[in-house]
Amino acid sequence: MTAAPDRTEHVLELKQVSRQYGREVTIEALREVNLSLEPGDCLAITGPSGAGKSTLLNIIGCLDRPTSGNYFFEGIDTTTLSDHERAGLRSQRIGFVFQSFHLLPHRSVLENVMLADVYRKQSQRGRCERALAAIERVGLAHRADFLPSKLSGGERQRVAIARALVGSPSLLLCDEPTGNLDSKSAAEILDFLEQLNLQGMTLIIVTHDENVARRAARRVHIIDGTLTDITDQTSSRIPAEAAMKSDARGAPLPSGMAFRDLLEEAIAGMFARPLRTLLTMLGVVIGLTALVATVGLSFTANNRIISQFDELAATEVIVTGKSGLTGVDPLALPWDAAERLLRLNGVVAAGTMSAVDTSEVLVSASPVRDPRRQTAFNLAIHAASPSLFAAVRADLESGRFMDEGHSQRMDRVAVLGPTAAQRLGIVSVEHLPAITIGDYRYLVIGILRGVARQPALLGSVIIPEGTARHDFGLQRPLSVVIETRIGAASLIVQQSPLALRPDDPSALRVEFPPEPQRVRDAVQSDLNAMLLLLGGLSLIVGAIGIGNITLVSVMERIGEIGLRRAIGATRKHIAIQFLLESATMGIVGGILGASLGVLIVVAVSAYQVWTPVLDPAAPILAPVVGGAIGLVSGTYPALRAARLEPVEALRN
């Protein structure tokens, strides 16, 4: 940064300043402009459209850089300043009043004026009071809480002037300040600007209006980039009050912004259009809801699967005779095997079961769905002790189970599995249906609905053990099914051979099905894969939505971006603001998604009568994931907003 002490009596001084645009075809917007302005001056810049007025004003306002030449502001060579330092100069020393007002429509008058203090990295203490003082200065204290849409054109311009005056600038730049006003409002604004000049404010006014130009103490005219001073320099007024402001105030501080201000501006920008923001967050909400619900339901289902395995597989023990060269020993188990095992501590139920080798089963004479279906079926026949039904957790559809009396009396009764009953066409036991097994007729007294263990029983005909001994020569039970208490299975595995065959425990084989970890893992893996895929797709859609909406928002808010750059925002401030907006949308979407995901897990668990199990990390990490998605999807729009030149943004 270079300072020129001999120029501190000037507010600004341009030395041979030129500005060119284009590379292949060069356009000279300004040609070797020389201009100086002293404290308290009021300068009007006139000229036809396209002559270079706006270009000159942009260079004076440090919104643009000259191609060649030097521009000193209060003795500071602005051509050597960094972007942050130029932004600091704009925020602390230069006030802007635009033809289009550039008021944020979703912010009140007070908030619009307070915006000028945001980029000075000052404490918020006293900010409201300074803004209210500026609003009162322009005569709008009674409308401080109004939105710009409720104000007239003249009032909006007064708000813009109040915003420019908050920082007590050395120079007030007015670009067609009356261009959008009616004659009465224009006159009021000009009167107020004249009062400001009389109080010592240095003014530069760009105008097409001769009435406005005549009010200035000094006037320059520009044509084709060439500046002509058409006012006698001696007519320039320097009020006494301005003499006190002629001392240079030193180098301006770089533009800065407190994080609290940055966050508040991002939140205000996000909720300026609440419906659009809500729709933008919807994709993230759906995706994270699916993810949180996925994790929760996965844990809940896994817990349910484990519980069922614990209740069934982990509590089931099957004892059979060992296989030899001639097959399984048919005499290995005693007839009272169930009674012996029930004496062991930890056994809940026990029952014997044997497969009976018979000929085909023939349907008897009544009652069936279709009498023509009285034909032969190859069905499995099992002989069972009455206690087997408890051991396999059998459930009746109709009728009753066999009891001990049926076996002792060798009654010819049968219980059908549901699949067997369906094949035989027997739908109920009300009318005493009968079936023929070999040469014997059996009365069907019950039909099973299902069994938790031994699924082979679902498609078989079950008869009493005593009857099987008499009719089919069953010698001994072939297996015994044991249900244990949870955790007692390993002990029963050791004790059951001794209880059943104390003479030769090695003659028995004990089956204790291990926990089917692979099955559980496969079920959980498939469920996770399906729901994670849905959640991932939703998150991708949400990220694209945030990116698109943020990009659209950038295009719609170009004027706002230009305003913020004019009052001191740097590229970094603009980029971070838009990134924070998109990240905040992602975080809010993550919070909503986590909440909905938890509710879904609880609702599904309540409906299924399950115990909900939630990973505490899932709802906590959901906002983090949402924020990360917002950051990633908002990066390109934020960079695009930051790359916008303030001159281009204000022009659009």
User: Per this entry, what is the length of the chain?
Assistant: 652
CA distance 141 to 158: 11
**So where are the chain's domains?**
2-256, 270-308+518-651, 333-500
Does residue 291 surpass a pLDDT of 70? yes
Q: What is the mean pLDDT of residues 322-343?
A: 81
Which tokens belong to 171? 């120079």
Which of 50-64, 267-281, 305-319 has the highest mean predicted lDDT (pLDDT)?
50-64
CA distance 559 to 564: 9
- Kindly list the distances between the CA atom of residue 266 and the CA atoms of 205, 574, 577, in Å, as whole numbers in the listed order: 33, 10, 5
Predicted pLDDT of residue 365: 37
Predicted pLDDT of residue 6: 45
pTM of the model: 0.63
Amino acid at 458: L
Q: What is the mean pLDDT of residues 243-266?
A: 69
Give the model's confidence band at 520: pLDDT under 50 very low, under 70 low, under 90 confident, else very high: low
Predicted pLDDT of residue 305: 63
Count CB neighbours of 579 within 10 A: 22
Identify the bridge partners of residue 461 per DSSP, sorted by sequence position: 381, 416
Predicted pLDDT of residue 245: 46
Predicted pLDDT of residue 233: 47
Which tokens belong to 629? 């998605």
Q: Phi and psi dihedrals of 570, rounded to 5?
A: -95, 175
Predicted pLDDT of residue 184: 86
Say which CATH topology domain 2-256 has.
Answer: Rossmann fold (3.40.50)
Segment (H or E) for 383: strand 380-384
Q: What is the mean pLDDT of residues 605-613?
A: 81
pLDDT (tens digit, 9 = 90+) per residue, 412-454? 999 999 999 988 888 889 888 988 887 888 999 999 999 988 8
Q: What is the mean pLDDT of residues 280-294?
A: 79
Which of 268-272, 279-283, 369-373, 583-587 has the highest mean predicted lDDT (pLDDT)?
583-587
- Kindly list the distances between the CA atom of residue 28 and the CA atoms of 45, 67, 206, 249, in Å, as whole numbers in the listed order: 18, 10, 19, 34
Predicted pLDDT of residue 361: 56
Are the C-beta atoms of 33 and 69 separated by less than 8 Å?
yes
Does residue 63 surpass a pLDDT of 90? no
Does residue 601 surpass a pLDDT of 60? yes
Predicted pLDDT of residue 248: 47
The residue written with tokens 């500071």 in the block is 76
Higher per-residue pLDDT: 250 or 630 = 630
Does residue 110 surpass a pLDDT of 60? yes
Q: Phi and psi dihedrals of 144, rounded to 5?
A: -65, -30
Residue of 337, 361, 469 lying closest to 409 (CA atoms): 469
The dihedral sign for the CA sequence 165, 170, 174, 178: positive
Predicted pLDDT of residue 189: 87
| 267-276, 352-361, 364-373, 518-527: segment of lowest average pLDDT | 364-373
Predicted pLDDT of residue 477: 92
Predicted pLDDT of residue 652: 66
| 29-43, 92-106, 347-361: segment of lowest average pLDDT | 347-361
CA distance 392 to 376: 28
**What's the count of helices (H) and strands (E) in the chain, helices before strands?**
21, 25
Predicted pLDDT of residue 650: 75
Predicted pLDDT of residue 391: 92
Does residue 106 surpass a pLDDT of 60? yes
pLDDT (tens digit, 9 = 90+) per residue, 182-238? 888 888 888 888 898 888 889 999 988 888 888 888 999 999 888 888 775 444 444
Does residue 486 surpass a pLDDT of 60? yes
Higher per-residue pLDDT: 287 or 118 = 118
Predicted pLDDT of residue 255: 79
Predicted pLDDT of residue 240: 43
Mean pLDDT taken over the chain = 82
DSSP, res 335: T
| 223-227, 256-260, 540-544: segment of lowest average pLDDT | 540-544
Q: Phi and psi dihedrals of 424, rounded to 5?
A: -80, -10
Give the model's confidence band at 300: pLDDT under 50 very low, under 70 low, under 90 confident, else very high: confident
Does residue 21 surpass a pLDDT of 80? yes
The full DSSP string for 133-184 is HHHHHTT-GGGTT--GGGS-HHHHHHHHHHHHHTT--SEEEEESTTTTS-HH
